[in-house]
Amino acid sequence: MKVLLLGGTGVISREIVKLLLAANHDVVLFNRGTKQLGFADDVQQITGDRSDRDNFESAMQKDRFDAVIDMICFNAEDAKSTVRAFRDNTDHLIVCSSIAAYKRPYQTVPTREDAEELFDSPTFSYAFKKAEMERYLHAQIAAQQLPITIIRPSLTFGPGAANIGVFRQNYGIVERIRQGKPLVMFGDGTTPWNFTFTPDLAKGFVGVLGNSKTFGQAYHITNEDRHVWEDLYLEFGRLVGKTPRIVHIPSELLYKAAPNLCAHLYFEKTYAGLFDNAKIKAAVPGFEATITLHDGLQMVLEWYEREANTVDPEKEALEDRLIALHARWAEQVENLYTK
């Protein structure tokens, strides 16, 4: 198949490209052309900016593709542009959404696609925009404009990821554990979660490719191993041979302290992130997410050590400050019972 990826350079996209190439598909990438790719010689590159709607749509309409995977669709306007670009020149459009698009609290745990509503409040911009994007796509599906499949990844880690940790501090987690510095965990650390890794998610994307069972459908794709959030830091500790010190701070306070950085905690991560994958397994026989938290974080740690062993000083300072404030508060609370 001739497959076009809009994006192709992100942490998830790169794994999808690897699987497509391994299956001998002809792969075309559309992106800004600003990143060096290890598979650049094996794909066709189209350079451009999707926010330049007219030029993007004109360029896409010059060719025909068996399937298109849109990994850089973040709102309804992006989706409208994608549909205009490919309405008449692809047999299958796959669009990457997010489990953030689900309305909280969930109606089902583990969460099932057919039992949930879409996020309906602009208070969490990312989730609301993804939900608005999906509403438009569902309208296109109802109007039978073209075969569309929506994929909703959950929090997904892998080499190249910049989203690991409460503050998305990534390698900073490892350094704090090694130095014996405490780490902030939201709530009491027991929010249930399915941690997913990019090679598993990529199998789901490639599995729906050209699959008529998936036309007009939406799927989340996650690992189904059950953990709690604190396991993320405990497992990193096992990998580096040192037990992490963890300080628990309510999500609401973290959101007030750093609203841009911690909105994902307050609006999304405080709710159980357990997902029923029966629907994608029925559509893609043999699909199974198999990478354990231990093996996935080992893969990430090896990548950190090779090429991403830097600490974000602003996030490091924020975490230090919050831990100091928590220590002062804890001391004052203890004094209430000793006076």
For residue range 120-172, what is the model confidence (pLDDT) as tens digits?
999 999 999 999 999 999 999 999 889 999 999 999 999 999 999 999 999 99
In a domain, 296, yes or no: yes
Instruction: Give the confidence band of 339 by pLDDT, cuts at 50, 70, 90.
Output: low
Token code pair at residue 96: 């990457």
Other C-beta atoms closer than 10 Å to the C-beta of 32 total 12
Place of tokens 């999500």: 251
**Res. 92: pLDDT tops 70:** yes
- Enclosing domain of residue 192: 92-333
Distance CA(17)–CA(8), nearest Å, equals 7
Q: Average pLDDT of 276-280?
A: 98
In a domain, 64, yes or no: no
Token code pair at residue 290: 């198999």
In a domain, 53, yes or no: no
Q: Are 253 and 270 in contact (CB under 8 A)?
A: no
Other C-beta atoms closer than 10 Å to the C-beta of 23 total 12
Taking every pair of C-alpha atoms in the chain, what is the biggest distance, in angstroms?
78
Among candidate residues 152, 151, 142, the one with its CA nearest the CA of residue 273? 152
Q: Which CATH number does the domain housing residue 135 bear?
A: 3.40.50.720
Angle of helix 293-307 relative to helix 171-179, nearest 10 degrees? 90
What separation in angstroms does the CA of 130 have from each of 8, 95, 97, 193? Answer: 19, 11, 6, 21
Q: What is the pLDDT of residue 324?
A: 98
Distance CA(184)–CA(149), nearest Å, equals 38
Give pTM, 2 decimals.
0.96
SS3 62: coil
H or E segment at 333? helix 313-336
In a domain, 4, yes or no: no
In a domain, 52, yes or no: no
Distance CA(87)–CA(217), nearest Å, equals 17
Q: Are strands 44-47 and 67-70 parallel, antiparallel or unpaired?
A: unpaired
Distance CA(313)–CA(203), nearest Å, equals 36
Q: What is the pLDDT of residue 23?
A: 97
Q: Average pLDDT of 251-255?
A: 98
Domain count, the chain: 1
Q: What is the pLDDT of residue 70?
A: 99
Token code pair at residue 158: 């892998």
Cα four-point dihedral sign 270, 271, 272, 275: negative
Place of tokens 């205009």: 84
Q: Average pLDDT of 70-81?
A: 98
Q: Phi and psi for 166 in degrees, rounded to 5?
A: -55, -45
User: What is the rounded average pLDDT for all residues in the chain?
Assistant: 97
95-120 tens-digit pLDDT:
999 999 999 999 999 999 999 999 99
What separation in angstroms does the CA of 90 have from each of 17, 170, 218? Answer: 18, 38, 19
Q: Are 303 and 160 in contact (CB under 8 A)?
A: yes
Helix, strand, coil shares, percent, the chain, to 5: 45, 15, 35
12-65 tens-digit pLDDT:
999 999 999 999 999 999 999 988 888 889 999 999 999 999 999 999 999 999
In a domain, 326, yes or no: yes
Separate counts of helices (H) and strands (E) for the chain? 12, 13
Query: If you write DSSP's letter for every residue of 216-235 in order, what string do you get?
Result: TEEEEE-----EETHHHHHH
292-335 tens-digit pLDDT:
999 999 999 999 999 999 999 999 999 999 999 999 999 998 88
In a domain, 54, yes or no: no
Token code pair at residue 149: 């499949």
Query: If you write DSSP's letter for every residue of 99-123 in order, what string do you get?
Result: GGGB-SS-SSSSB-GGG--B---TT
